[in-house]
Structure 1
Amino acid sequence: MKPTVGRNVHYKDTEGKTLAAVVVYVNPDTTGMVNLAVWNEFGKQFNALNVCQGDGLEQWNWPPRQ
């Protein structure tokens, strides 16, 4: 599935914590690279730029379906 602006995703920070994020920009010249607005566990928002899709640290992925 292609990312689009406004979609909710998960972002894994440098410590491996999964955080809530929203896609704010999709780079049209890449496959799946996006800019994110991310919220940490305290509700503080920060930006993550040029983030690739994946399961590793500092990457984004779709939330699991339940």
Structure 2
Amino acid sequence: MKPSVVRNVHYKDEEGKTLAAIVVHVNPDTEGMVNLAVWNEFGKQFNALNVRQGDEPGEWNWPPRV
């Protein structure tokens, strides 16, 4: 699935915690690289720019389907 603006995704922070995020920009020149608005566990919002899709810290991925 291709990312698009306003999609909910998971962002893994540098400590490996999964955080809520929304896609705010999709880089058209790369495959799956996006800019995100991310919220930490305290509700504080920060930006993550040029984030690649994956499961490692500093990357985003789709939430699991239940």
TM-score bin (small chain)? over 0.9
Could you say which residue in structure 1 is the equivalent of 2:22?
22
Is residue 65 from structure 1 mapped to residue 30 from structure 2 by the alignment?
no
TM-score w.r.t. structure 1 length? 1.00
Q: CA deviation at 1:65?
A: 0.3
Instruction: Tell me the distance in 2 between the aligned counterparts of 1:58 and 1:9.
Output: 13
Could you say which residue in structure 1 is the equivalent of 2:33?
33
Q: How many residues align?
A: 66
Show structure 2 runs of 5+ residues with no match. Answer: none
Q: What whole-Å deviation, never above 9, does each CA across 1:2-54 have from its counterpart, x for those lacking one?
A: 00000000000000000000000000000000000000000000000000000
Aligned residues: CA RMSD:
0.1
Could you say which residue in structure 2 is the equivalent of 1:49?
49
Show structure 1 runs of 5+ residues with no match. Answer: none
TM-score w.r.t. structure 2 length? 1.00
Question: Which runs of structure 1 show a deviation greater than 3 angstroms over 4 or more consecutive aligned residues?
Answer: none
